[in-house]
């Protein structure tokens, strides 16, 4: 793999973990995602307009349908992620969310498509499952209601990640839509939906914004930045190598949750995240 691609992915993993750290730190603010989505929509509007003008021939009815689908899924994604961060630790919810998608895809291919995975894929699934079990503390995590809620929303977020990955993958590979346009359209739809929800909370929005505008702005910048870096890496290196490397963000998030948020259990959670990342890599290479 070219060194530049490795650097891009490494920075992207840090950016992704960082915006999740910000989201966790400000998770108590109900309209945090509205603020960050609005900021992203405004900041990157000129880029979106330029790309749209250059690819107007590809914006068919089917393309519009898939852009709408990714918008709907991303609303559920951010909502479940924030609910998870309100109920559980960053170093638990984030690895569960990132590890559940590939694991569900693995078992779905067996049950629904009749596929017969290789021994390498089976080992990858075992590592992911072991890491998912280890990160929250094994069976002890299910003895506390609050922890169970964090686990539930972490897994729910993983389900939405699997859904938008498939939807966006089809949009980019089959419909040949710009990846940036797909991301921007989903964010714009989310902004509109969350704005409608917050309409009745107008008097309190200004005060809430003053309390979390820094986190919202950071999320607005880091989210597309991480995405663009990954796409840039994919231009100069095989996708099969880039995808599993992205999971380094789980180890970063697990460490930062313990280091900056005082969540504790750093060794166990970083080790569990490493198992998940290794398992995802095996699934990708199988």
Max mean pLDDT range (55-59, 84-88, 133-137): 84-88
Checking if the pLDDT of 142 tops 70, the result is no
Checking if the pLDDT of 169 tops 90, the result is no
User: Residue 1: which pLDDT band, with cuts at 50, 70 and 90?
Assistant: low
- At 77 the pLDDT is 92
Mean pLDDT rounded to a whole number for the chain: 83
Phi and psi, residue 238, nearest 5°? -60, 140
For the segment 248-259, what is each residue's pLDDT rounded down to a tens digit? 787 788 777 877
- At 18 the pLDDT is 93
User: Residue 9: which pLDDT band, with cuts at 50, 70 and 90?
Assistant: confident
Checking if the pLDDT of 263 tops 70, the result is yes
Q: What percent of the chain has pLDDT over 90?
A: 30
User: Which residue would you say has higher pLDDT here, 244 or 124?
Assistant: 124
Average pLDDT over every residue of 36-57: 91
Virtual torsion, Cα 113, 116, 118, 119, nearest 10 deg: 120
Q: What is the DSSP string of 18-82?
A: HHHHHHHHTTT-TTHHHHHHHHHHHHTHHHHHHHHHHTGGG--HHHHHHHHHHHHHHHHHHHHHH
């Amino acid at each position: 793999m070219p060194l530049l691609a490795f650097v891009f992915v490494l920075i992207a993993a840090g950016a992704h973990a960082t915006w999740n750290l910000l989201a966790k730190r400000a998770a108590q603010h109900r309209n945090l995602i509205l603020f960050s989505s609005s900021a992203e929509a405004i900041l990157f509007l000129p880029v979106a307009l330029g790309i749209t003008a250059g690819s107007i021939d590809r914006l068919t009815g089917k393309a519009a349908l898939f852009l709408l689908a990714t918008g709907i899924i991303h609303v559920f994604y951010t909502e479940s992620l924030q609910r998870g961060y309100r109920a559980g630790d960053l170093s638990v919810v984030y690895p569960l969310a990132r590890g559940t998608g590939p694991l569900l895809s693995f078992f779905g291919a067996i049950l629904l498509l009749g596929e017969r995975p290789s021994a390498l894929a089976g080992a990858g699934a075992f590592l992911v499952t072991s890491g998912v079990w280890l990160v929250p503390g094994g069976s002890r995590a299910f003895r506390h209601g609050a922890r169970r809620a964090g686990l539930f929303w972490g897994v729910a977020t993983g389900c939405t990640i699997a859904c938008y990955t498939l939807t966006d993958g089809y949009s980019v590979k089959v419909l040949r839509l710009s990846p940036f346009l797909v991301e921007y359209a989903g964010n714009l739809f989310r902004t509109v939906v969350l704005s409608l929800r917050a309409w009745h909370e107008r008097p309190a929005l200004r005060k809430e914004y003053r309390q979390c505008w820094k986190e919202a702005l950071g999320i607005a910048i880091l989210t597309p930045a991480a995405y663009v870096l990954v796409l840039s890496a994919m231009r100069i290196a095989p996708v099969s190598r880039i995808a599993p490397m992205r999971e380094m963000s789980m180890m970063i998030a697990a460490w930062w949750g313990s280091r900056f948020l005082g969540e504790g259990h750093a060794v166990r959670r970083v080790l569990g995240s490493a198992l998940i990342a290794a398992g995802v890599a095996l699934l990708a290479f199988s």
